[in-house]
Structure 1
Amino acid sequence: MMINEIDGAGWESMGHAYGPASDVPGWLQGMASADPGVRDEAFSAFYSAAHHQGDVYPCTAASLPFLFEMAGSLVTPDRGSVIELLLSIGQECLDMDPERVYFTPDGTESRAHVDALEVIGERAEVFVRWVMDPDEEVRRPAIECLGLFLADSARALEVLRSLLPGSGTVQRLLVVRAVATVALRDAAVHGAAAGWLEELAGDTAQVPEVRLAALVHRARCTPGELGDAVVPAAVGLIREIEQAETGGDDDAPRGAEAEPDVAAGAAPSPGVPPQVAAAFKDLEQHGRVHAPTTSLLEAFHTLLGDRVSERSALLAEQLCSADPGVRYDAIRMAKELIGQWRGDHSGLVVLIAGCLLPEDAYTSAAAAEALGALVPVSKPAREALAAYVEACRAEHGPGVWAARERLVRRAHQEAVRALAGLGDLRALPCVLEALDEGTDAWRAVQVAGHLGGAAGDLTPRLSKLLAEVDFSDASQSMSANALVSALRELGDPAAVPALTTAIVAAVREEQWHTAASALKALASFGREAAFALDVVRPLADAQDVTVRAAATAALWELEGDAAGVVPRLVELLDTHENDEAAAVLGRIGQAAAPALPRLRKMMAAGYEWTRVYAATALWDIGGDAEAPAVVETLLAAWAENDATSNHVLACLSRMGPAARPTLPRVREELTLLRRSGRFRSVPHDEELQSACRSITARA
């Protein structure tokens, strides 16, 4: 059957998931078009409709014969992309449970993943031919397909091994990985494949990249036999790669290739917040690989898992590599290691900081962004960040924050943000410049709150920007909330008038989330914001629950009338704002005793977070008499969901001697290697460890 013989009704009967079913044959025809634009559009449409986010539908399985036909035709202009699509569909099917029935978005039962694998398996013999194809773009995905889908594993192994001589470096790396894939999916050839990989790893006639690949994939075949010598051997091969001549091989490693430089000041589309536009620009860089060994080293790091010291040694070698591509990709790997695992990472932080080179803005931007994401662990990079910021200003002038060259601008801004995140006032001149001039001011706002020592300079500027927000434009809500957050962090009471005005404007435009954020910021100034009570008091009766809770909390902070707010807070315990209400009741303390019966009932809630909010408030109000129940509840919630740990530890810290029964669990936490805490983020985990150490020190 040819592609043009498929009719729309046939696709409808196959349970097509997205878009008109009759479009699918057209997409298949478009993928074979001689017009590159038509091809790109057709591939994009197929991925969106028939392979949406990697899903496999009945129509996806039905398309496979035609994709194979297209890939096998020498007149198809982009056969490699078609085979990559086959590879993607097949890999997704392998990751799905063959015994499970899945459902399409319209609720239809589907076992398309099983059907698709059957179709691929029946035609897998063609991969043997395609791995010999003259077109490199065809060979590369075909090699992976051969390793995954050819049922005759012994033949797959034989063909793959025959490809190694005469191939370029990248293809040889693919062959080695495919051999390991065959070994892992069929025990019958595991020994032969693993033995070949071991021989290859020790073959000094091979280039070090191939030997490194063989070493890693040999270890991947038998992870339980990973000895102490593997990492030193890998480090030695990385050094050989650095020293090797790369000329004369079309597939030789290449350094980091910078993105095209464009002029600064490009405005996002109307109605799109600049933060969102920037996030989509960042996606363009996500997943870029700058060295052929990167995916290999990523696999090695995954294999090493919690062997943090060995992974750090490996990353140290990568970060010191003479190859800029290896160095660039190592920044991301080091960021992931530090972000996921505990330990003394100061050595790696210093090496990341060593990638801050004024002559290489592309790599510097990545290094600075990583250091900013790793605050507060990135403190050892403080001086390097300050030096880089100063070097940029010296070379490009004080207006470098808004430099026309995109790479220079991005690298400088990321370094300033990282330095400001550490609370270093050497970032202040650049932050003030951004706020005054307006270019990418939102990026400066995000870190301004960390510069509390400069509140006198920052508060008037941030207040002015908040006053300029158009609250009738929903797209400006992200900017408004960022400004409110920064003013709250700075803690300067001079921000109270601007916050009060923002509350009025946000309520008028029914921007409830922003109004609530501003109310919480206002509450943080306590009695110094009492003159705003006329604005706050009516909002304690607002229809929006979030605003009502924030206003009630602000009433307590601004005037301290427990009798007036406790009944309101008890009512709020029955809403989705029960966490805010419980927290305020806890801050009120003994005067909130009327809330105790309701809080005790909340301790039996099914949701662990609700139990944590109730338990912490119960302790803060009832004290020692409530301690046994509070301790039991907090430990149970912590065991159920370690994301609650920061809240749990904060309460245990306040409990003092009453928290002694939790000491075994607190000590156990300090022995764990993987980061924990809210969102498993670096700041929350560092805070968590600090609380644990404080509790154990007092024991």
Structure 2
Amino acid sequence: MFDGLHDIDWSSMDHAYGSAEEVPALLPAFRSPDAEERRKAFSRFHGAVHHQGDVYPCTAATVPFLFELAEDAATPDRAAVVDLLVSIGRIAVDRCEEQYAHASGHAEAAALMRERADKIVELASDSDPRVRRAAVRGVGLFVDDAERAAALLRDRLSAESGVVHRLLVVETMATLALRLPAVAGEAMRWFDALAAEPTLDPRTRLAAVVHRARCSPHDIAEDVVPAAIGLLRETARSTVPAGTWADPPSRTPAAAAADDVPAQVTAAFEDLDRHGRVHAPTTELLRTFHEVLEGRLPQRTVLLAEQLRDPDPGTRLDALRMTAEFMKSWRGDHAVLIGLVAGQLGATDPEVAAEAAAVLEACHPLAEPAREALAAQVAAQRTEHGPDVWAAPRPHVRRAHQEAVRALARLGDARALPSLLTALDSGVDSWRAVEVARALPQAAGDLVPRLRAHLRHIDLTGQWVEMSANALLSAVAALGDPAAVPDVAGVLEGAVRHERGSVTRSALAALKAFGPGAAPALPVVRALTTGTDAHVGPAAVAALWAIGGDREEVMPLLLELLDESMSFRVRDAADVLGEIGPPAAAALPRLRELSTHADEWVRVHCAAAVWDIAGETEAGAVLDVLLQAWTRNSSTAGRVVTCLRRMGPAAAPALPHLRAHLAVARRDWFLGVGRDEELQRDVRAAVERITSVTV
């Protein structure tokens, strides 16, 4: 075992976090009789040597030794080793044709896996069902003898009784057919036969339907989704105990639960853990089906609706997460799905109820049809569990209430207020309340005094202070009560003193939002306009203009910023010059010059400022800059569209771009559902403003 392990110069190779010299110690630890030692070794390997699924030269060098471990009956976690091998090989095969493959170890790892195809075949027929389950995907990825691989998979389907094993076998046949077209025709006929076999269990038949569609995504007949729904209804008649197919839930990393880690970080880890869990054996299959259906939105909506109506709580729980992903990724009328999600708020399974509320909170721009259901649920929870249900000891009850309250608050509904006040008064998960308080300006009288109290108690020496401080500052700024100015100014002074740049910028942004009402803070703001922090200076100048409105004071500062080499300082200055408008005409020559800058973001910000200062005489040049930038970089859309909206009729040549944007069904992933919905509203408003005059 491990012959030659120490002959390799591991120190000459790197993994994600530096030298790979630790690898020779990790591999023997996989055989340790101590389960905790093995767990740590696997965790370190995945975290560094196979970091985020990548394959380095040192990763490829471990493949022969991992095969030795997988074949040795004395290895305690053989299935975990095989799963690791298949993961390395899958990534390597996917990327080995890329330009950087040889340097990264992908080509070497792929070759090593294919050289050991016989070993993969043996492992796929191993006596240990967990080893077979881990290995079977490798048959589709690494065995180049198509007939041998297909025959093995047909045999495995007949031999396997476990539902997950059978689904994996069908999936692997599709993978094989997609990789080796010589077997595609045979595979399609096999799928058709399985789907039509009435004595076969409905989950395997459903897998055949889905993977046939996966092999021919451009030839999906109208009856495919109805057929899949019919099989889903058959699966609902029989349950499969989780113990027969599900892996144990992963543990939240200890670092995330440590006392010195903020609650927001712990919650983020918990969310990741929840997102990675699977509660029904058909979930991954249905995810694949949605990927295959892709832009067929009506069919996907019907399929999700069926999933959300399933009597099995686990199926509904996974369906809720798929529904959230769908609505976050695709535009359209999602009212039916929102209604079905809202219908889960009162589910007897508290985890389902909590997840339904979380979906509505995450997709709150679409959640208006669920407003009354949310309000009713919040009231029912307070009646059943008491007014302090926000801090309920049972985690699922607590999460269900908090998410419902947050979703209701995001809709601007004051019925969320009592629980938010409980959170702010008690300090229990108060950060969750702070994040949504900005959506309730009508309740500023109740919220602002409490937010101010939290501001006064911020410890600016704390390691993670930015998370809480920035959220509080953003909330008081959005609520707009100038009574908070002294507290914001106090935080600003403390942040400067403790060199907390991020908090300093947030405090300046809050003071800017208050405008002239923040006049008492002018001295400290003015002092920061010439500070050494590259980000703070422009933020201070913007706040100085918003609060003091003294053009003679800010213009020299802005003109100086326009000559900076750092692009973000130029952009920030251009934005303020645009706010000043025509009186900032002295900046026009430099702004015109910067409209041809190499950085497209600089071009967009400066062109928009040119319009705001000079108006229609510059319309043609401004439009050229804006539309070229939008075409080249879709992430500029928000800035471009807001300027087009201000331009009105002068932006008529942009109408094709605006209408083309509205015709796209897929959301921009980087924007998120909230900003994407806002962008759509801005695009429609720009079109309306342009056409109401030009038509």
Is 2:177 the counterpart of 1:147?
A: no
The residue identity in structure 2 corresponding to 1:660 is: A
Q: Which residue of 1 aligns with 2:542?
A: 553
Is 2:598 the counterpart of 1:606?
A: yes
Q: Which residue of 1 aligns with 2:580?
A: 588
- Structure 1 contact 599–617 (Cα < 8 Å) conserved: yes
Aligned length: 684
**1:158 Cα offset (Å):** 0.6
Q: Closer, same or farther in 2 for the Cα pair 1:489/1:362, shift >3 Å? A: same
Q: Which residue of 1 aligns with 2:211?
A: 217
Is 2:647 the counterpart of 1:647?
A: no
Once the two structures are superposed, what CA deviation does each residue of 1:308-341 show, in whole Å capped at 9, x if it has no partner?
Answer: 1111110000011111111111111111111111
- Structure 2 contact 55–104 (Cα < 8 Å) conserved: no
Is 2:181 the counterpart of 1:182?
A: no
Counterparts in 2 of 1:73-472, with a 5 A limit?
A: 73-98=72-97, 100-102=99-101, 110=103, 112-166=105-159, 167-243=161-237, 245-246=238-239, 251=244, 269-357=258-346, 359-472=348-461
Matches of 1:487 and 1:88 in 2, distance apart? 47
**1:371 Cα offset (Å):** 1.0
The residue identity in structure 2 corresponding to 1:692 is: V
Q: Which residue of 1 aligns with 2:58?
A: 59
Q: Which residue of 2 aligns with 1:693?
A: 684
Q: Closer, same or farther in 2 for the Cα pair 1:412/1:260, shift >3 Å? A: farther
Counterparts in 2 of 1:426-575, with a 5 A limit?
A: 426-573=415-562, 574=564, 575=566
Q: Which residue of 1 aligns with 2:622?
A: 630
Matches of 2:116 and 2:84 in 1, distance apart? 15
**1:12 Cα offset (Å):** 4.1
Q: Closer, same or farther in 2 for the Cα pair 1:554/1:24, shift >3 Å? A: closer
Q: Closer, same or farther in 2 for the Cα pair 1:148/1:690, shift >3 Å? A: same
Identity of aligned residues (%): 50
Matches of 1:471 and 1:249 in 2, distance apart? 47
Matches of 2:612 and 2:378 in 1, distance apart? 46
Once the two structures are superposed, what CA deviation does each residue of 1:220-253 show, in whole Å capped at 9, x if it has no partner?
Answer: 111121121111111111111112x33799747x
Once the two structures are superposed, what CA deviation does each residue of 1:553-596 show, in whole Å capped at 9, x if it has no partner?
Answer: 22222222112211211212224322222121111111111111
The residue identity in structure 2 corresponding to 1:414 is: E
Consecutive unaligned residues of structure 1, counting only runs of 5 or more, are 103-108
- Structure 1 contact 14–62 (Cα < 8 Å) conserved: no
Matches of 1:615 and 1:248 in 2, distance apart? 62
- Structure 2 contact 313–349 (Cα < 8 Å) conserved: no
The residue identity in structure 2 corresponding to 1:163 is: R
**1:628 Cα offset (Å):** 1.0
Q: Closer, same or farther in 2 for the Cα pair 1:257/1:135, shift >3 Å? A: closer
Q: Closer, same or farther in 2 for the Cα pair 1:79/1:692, shift >3 Å? A: same
**1:625 Cα offset (Å):** 1.0
**1:536 Cα offset (Å):** 2.2
Matched residue of 2:158: which SS? Answer: coil
Q: Closer, same or farther in 2 for the Cα pair 1:138/1:504, shift >3 Å? A: same
- Structure 2 contact 191–212 (Cα < 8 Å) conserved: yes
CA RMSD of aligned residues (A): 2.4
Matches of 1:589 and 1:581 in 2, distance apart? 13
**1:15 Cα offset (Å):** 6.6
**1:14 Cα offset (Å):** 6.5
Q: Which residue of 2 aligns with 1:106?
A: none
Q: Which moved more, 1:57-66 or 1:482-491?
A: 57-66
Matches of 1:247 and 1:460 in 2, distance apart? 53
Matches of 1:322 and 1:599 in 2, distance apart? 62
- Structure 2 contact 405–419 (Cα < 8 Å) conserved: yes
Matches of 1:269 and 1:99 in 2, distance apart? 41
Q: Closer, same or farther in 2 for the Cα pair 1:258/1:87, shift >3 Å? A: closer
Matches of 1:54 and 1:226 in 2, distance apart? 32
- Structure 2 contact 435–471 (Cα < 8 Å) conserved: yes
Q: Which moved more, 1:580-589 or 1:450-459?
A: 580-589
TM (normalized to structure 2)? 0.94
Q: Which residue of 2 aligns with 1:105?
A: none
Q: Which residue of 2 aligns with 1:42?
A: 41
Counterparts in 2 of 1:6-17, with a 5 A limit?
A: 6-7=5-6, 10-12=9-11
Matched residue of 2:366: which SS? Answer: coil
- Structure 2 contact 341–356 (Cα < 8 Å) conserved: yes
Once the two structures are superposed, what CA deviation does each residue of 1:27-65 show, in whole Å capped at 9, x if it has no partner?
Answer: 222212222122212222333343232222333233222
Matches of 1:22 and 1:516 in 2, distance apart? 42
- Structure 1 contact 7–22 (Cα < 8 Å) conserved: no
- Structure 1 contact 168–249 (Cα < 8 Å) conserved: no
Q: Closer, same or farther in 2 for the Cα pair 1:13/1:451, shift >3 Å? A: closer
Q: Which residue of 1 aligns with 2:31?
A: 32
**1:259 Cα offset (Å):** 9.8
TM (normalized to structure 1)? 0.93
Q: Which moved more, 1:27-36 or 1:314-323?
A: 27-36
Matched residue of 2:665: which SS? Answer: coil
Matches of 2:548 and 2:270 in 1, distance apart? 46
Matches of 1:385 and 1:586 in 2, distance apart? 42
Matches of 1:268 and 1:342 in 2, distance apart? 37
The residue identity in structure 1 corresponding to 2:387 is: P
Matches of 1:329 and 1:114 in 2, distance apart? 36
**1:491 Cα offset (Å):** 1.1
Q: Which moved more, 1:20-29 or 1:358-367?
A: 20-29
Q: Which moved more, 1:554-563 or 1:14-23?
A: 14-23
Matched residue of 1:545: which SS? Answer: coil
Matched residue of 2:447: which SS? Answer: helix
**1:304 Cα offset (Å):** 0.8
Q: Which moved more, 1:526-535 or 1:417-426?
A: 526-535
Consecutive unaligned residues of structure 2, counting only runs of 5 or more, are none
Matches of 1:251 and 1:679 in 2, distance apart? 38
Q: Closer, same or farther in 2 for the Cα pair 1:681/1:43, shift >3 Å? A: closer
Matched residue of 1:579: which SS? Answer: helix
The residue identity in structure 2 corresponding to 1:246 is: T
Matched residue of 2:52: which SS? Answer: helix
Matches of 1:67 and 1:258 in 2, distance apart? 25
Q: Which moved more, 1:110-119 or 1:581-590?
A: 110-119
Matches of 2:153 and 2:258 in 1, distance apart? 49
Matches of 1:519 and 1:49 in 2, distance apart? 40
Matches of 2:508 and 2:104 in 1, distance apart? 52
- Structure 1 contact 368–418 (Cα < 8 Å) conserved: yes
Once the two structures are superposed, what CA deviation does each residue of 1:384-418 show, in whole Å capped at 9, x if it has no partner?
Answer: 11122112111111111111111211121111111
Matches of 1:50 and 1:325 in 2, distance apart? 34
Matches of 2:65 and 2:248 in 1, distance apart? 37
**1:268 Cα offset (Å):** 5.4
Matches of 1:546 and 1:14 in 2, distance apart? 38
Q: Closer, same or farther in 2 for the Cα pair 1:498/1:23, shift >3 Å? A: closer
**1:206 Cα offset (Å):** 0.9
Matches of 1:259 and 1:138 in 2, distance apart? 19
